[in-house]
Chains A and B, each alone.
Chain A
Amino acid sequence: MTALNTAPRTSRTAPARPVTPPAKPRNPWRVVITVAITVAVILVFWSVKVDWARTVNLPADIARYLWLMFSNPAWDKVPEALWQTWRSVEMAWVGCLLGIVISFPLSFLAARGIGPAPVRFVLRGLFSLIRAVPEIVIAIVILSVTGLTPLTGALALAVNGIGTLGKWGYEAIEGVHPGPIEAVHAAGGSRWQTVRWGIWPQASPEFVSFWLYRFEINVRASAVLGLIGVGGIGDMLTSYTQYREWPTVGALLIVVIIVTVAIDLTSGAIRRRITEGSRVRDLA
């Protein structure tokens, strides 16, 4: 291909000169690292307690179970499944709202230029600490106080939401254009007025957009939280899985998938409308 690319140019400018392609770049480190990683991965595959020989039958097994689940789903369980899904979505919604309410002021305090340095440092540490702990573990910790109720799920999602929303929030604030902020300063605005008129109008679409995104995450996470018994669709799904009632499991999975995809699509459409604006009005 190199020869093809260069041929017309050489023919036009100078008499034919043998075209020697440049030597391939060599990077000995790349080879060393690739080999090292490959060996490590092979060791991990070899050392894990999995009977790899058994995986030969796996596709057939899984196909059999998929058939059991989806060939004749237990449609009569759908009303109950929808009710439990509603419990999960409630958890997601309440958790999302609580997370927003708490993280909103904190993300401003954690942004450079607004919060004092020590506060900023502590808050950022807190956000990353929270983000590293899975929400199901947070739920296990707080259920000793709140018991096995949907409230526990909502609180766990709220705590986890503080970690992610706080981080996205201060990043959005720090990413705004400095012009309006300088303009507010120049007009003699206070710190509060800077936030209200210099930062918020720029950052608000992003904030609303990741609030919605967090709700999408919560919808998935709330289904998972049911596994420890706080109620909702996850709870129902684990019990029917343990009884190995595959037609019901199939129906529940269908409900989960449809509800999740529907919420994702709605939320995604709203997010696009907020961040990109309406096309129609731009043209008018």
Chain B
Amino acid sequence: MSAAEYPGLPAKPGGRWKIWLAIGIIAAITAVTLAPGIGVDFSLDAILRNWRNGTEKIGQLLVPDWSFFPRTIAPLWETIQMAIIASVIGAIVSVPLSMWAARLTNPNPVTRGIVRTLLNIVRAVPDLLYAAVLVAMVGVGALPGIIALVLFNVGIVVKLVSEAIESGDPGPGEAARAAGATQTQINRAALLPDIWPPFINQALYAFELNVRASTVLGLVGAGGLGLLIDAVRTFYRYDQLSLIILEILVVVVLIDWASAVIRKRVK
């Protein structure tokens, strides 16, 4: 109607049906995911049954058991150690891999494709699943946790750094190529200096994620605070869990702050 009555106005853009289609699909998936039998069981009676007991437990979170603190020091330190070691190993491994995975530093599409596919597969598995499988392979302790974190790190850092390389300036590389440099020389002399800042940035970011991740790896037996979380949760000692959560908060905030300071210096 508008086009005929108001000749000056353009017609309303079409495609509103797409939004309704999207909403329809979302509603359909939601209906299936909530359907009894095949969906997430949204039964309220279990919640009502557990309500008093459960809220009492959660109330315990508000009164941390400070006397538990001495026992948490060693696992907390192990958590931080795992995060640091995994970040360092992951960072060292990531430098050549990111160069392999980026077009500017590796013009060969075959090797680039292989590295990228492998890393996509590595990234598809969450760190805790790695840890669960690795604990069964190499035994309980910090080692499976470190390996799981390294895999997790390499997945993230290589993806982010290789994207940074691709979006970087091709100029220095072309100049070096024009001067007759081999690909290795180009990477070493012309491109590496540009890669350091994003690399350090992402390595620190991965370190922050590692600290968070390493606190729970112990739940599957991979060392650190998670071992304690597992112990206190089986006894429903939520006052002790509360102290552990507080420690995680403090460590995460401190590490994030330190990492932010370093990153600002790097920029």
Contacts and interface: CB of A to CB of B under 8 A. Distances in A.
Interface stretch (A6-14, A174-182, A256-264): A256-264
Contact of A136 (B53, B55, B128): B128
Nearest to A38: B88
B129 A48 contact: no
Interface string B101-133: 000000000000000000011001111110011
Interface stretch (B2-10, B27-35, B63-71, B160-168): B27-35
Contacts of B82: 48
Given A140-B229, A144-B58, A146-B46, A94 B128 contact: no
Task: Name the prevailing secondary structure of the A interface residues.
Answer: helix
B21 interface: no
A93 B38 CA distance: 14
A223 B252 contact: no
Contacts of A137: 215-216, 229, 241, 245, 248
B262 to A, nearest CB: 9
Interface stretch (A18-26, A111-119, A187-195, A236-244): A236-244
A132 B253 contact: yes
A221 interface: yes
Interface in A221-259: 221, 223-224, 227-228, 234, 237-238, 241-242, 244, 249, 253, 256-257
A249 B249 CA distance: 34
A33 to B, nearest CB: 9
Given A48-B78, A244-B136, A256 B125 contact: yes
A98 B129 CA distance: 25
Contacts of B40: 90-91, 94, 149-151, 154
A141 B61 contact: yes
A237 B249 contact: no
A224 B226 CA distance: 14
Interface in B204-260: 212-213, 215-216, 219-220, 223, 229, 233, 236, 238, 241, 245, 248-249, 252-253
Interface in A12-60: 41, 44-45, 47-51, 54-55, 58
A253 B238 CA distance: 33
Interface residues of B, number: 64
Contacts of A90: 33, 39-40
A129 B84 contact: no
B249 to A, nearest CB: 5
Contacts of B133: 237, 241, 249, 253
Contact of A147 (B46, B61, B189, B229): B46
B1 interface: no
A1 B41 contact: no
Task: Name the prevailing secondary structure of the B interface residues.
Answer: helix
A146 B33 CA distance: 18
B184 interface: no
A68 B120 CA distance: 22
Contacts of A264: 124
B137 A62 contact: yes
B146 interface: yes
Given A49-B142, A261-B124, A61 B137 contact: yes
B33 A141 contact: no
A151 B42 contact: yes
Interface of B: 29-30, 33-34, 38-43, 46-47, 50-51, 53-55, 57-58, 61, 78, 81-82, 84-85, 88, 120-121, 124-129, 132-133, 135-138, 141-143, 146-147, 179, 189, 212-213, 215-216, 219-220, 223, 229, 233, 236, 238, 241, 245, 248-249, 252-253
19 contacts: A4-B179, A41-B88, A45-B88, A48-B85, A48-B142, A134-B213, A134-B216, A140-B241, A141-B58, A144-B58, A145-B47, A146-B47, A147-B46, A150-B40, A150-B41, A151-B43, A223-B129, A234-B129, A242-B136
What are the 6 A-B residue pairs with the smallest beta carbon separation, nearest first?
A145-B54, A260-B124, A144-B57, A144-B54, A90-B33, A224-B128
